[in-house]
Amino acid sequence: MTVKKGDFIELAYTGTVKDTGKVFDTTDEKVAKENELNEKASYKPVVVAVGEGHLIKGLDKFIEGKELEKEYSTEVNAEDAFGKKSAKLLKLIPMKLFKQQNINPFPGLDINVDGSFGIVRSVSGGRIIVDFNHPLASHDLQYKFKINKLVIDKKEQAEAILKLLDIKFKEVKIEENKADIKLEVELPKEVITKLEEDIKRLTKLQDVTITKQ
């Protein structure tokens, strides 16, 4: 059986940087520990909808038409991964803004500026250059993966969408082809509306209602 666009699947994978072989992402806890990835993260197979942008473009496209329970490997060029580096994402930030936050900038420091993550590239007097390109921009990648199974349970599908968006929820209840979802967080009305529409479209549920618990 092969998977098609819109199918929900449980996916196990490991991604490496092509030119260095460094593991940057995996669903395998053992591999994560061996490569000293974030100890606080959860490493287990993920549920995604094929062709819906839940994965990087190159991998998402390659998965379509593949068979269940078979192991595959593929290369993803930079354009279909995290893109090419852009000079427009190198920003000059005044030292005073760092001082206001009691931050002492140095090359290699990871920072968050208004929700955008960057890396300090250089410090020269009051001129701080911060790179907001993705750390893997301009890198070709390699993936090994296996599609464990199709996920047809509507509750699991809806929960997967919330988890992919890192939205905290208390409960997802499915009754008579309708979903009642209780969130732990308050979200803007337009975000709730879009989320309801996306879950309804992807899960093919008749109705989706999202409220804060």
Mean pLDDT of the 45-49 span: 97
Residues 6+ apart with CB under 8 A from 206: 176, 177, 178, 200
Q: What is the pLDDT of residues 103-149, one digit of tens each?
A: 889 999 998 877 788 999 999 878 899 999 999 999 999 999 999 99
Record the tokens describing residue 147, joined without a space.
């599609």
Residue 2: which pLDDT band, with cuts at 50, 70 and 90? very high
Instruction: Give me the domains of the chain, ranges plus CATH numbers.
Output: 1-83+138-152 (3.10.50.40), 87-131 (2.40.10.330), 153-213 (3.30.300.170)
- 97 pLDDT more than 90: no
**Cα 209 to Cα 196: distance, rounded to the nearest angstrom:** 7
Q: What is the pLDDT of residues 10-35, one digit of tens each?
A: 999 999 999 999 999 999 999 999 99
Backbone torsions φ then ψ of 132, nearest 5 degrees: -100, 10
Q: Which of 64-78, 88-102, 148-162 has the lowest mean pLDDT?
A: 88-102
Helix intervals (H) in 14-172? 29-34, 57-63, 95-100, 154-164
Is residue 183 within 8 Å of residue 102, measured between CB atoms? Answer: no
What pLDDT, on a 0 to 100 scale, did the predictor assign at position 125?
Answer: 77
Q: 56: phi > 0 → left, psi -120 to 50 → alpha, else beta; which?
A: beta
Single pTM value for the model: 0.84
- 188 pLDDT more than 90: yes
What pLDDT, on a 0 to 100 scale, did the predictor assign at position 41?
Answer: 87
| Mean pLDDT (the chain, rounded) | 94
Mean pLDDT of the 74-84 span: 96
**Cα 113 to Cα 9: distance, rounded to the nearest angstrom:** 35
Record the tokens describing residue 7, joined without a space.
């199918």
- 50 pLDDT more than 80: yes
What pLDDT, on a 0 to 100 scale, did the predictor assign at position 19?
Answer: 93
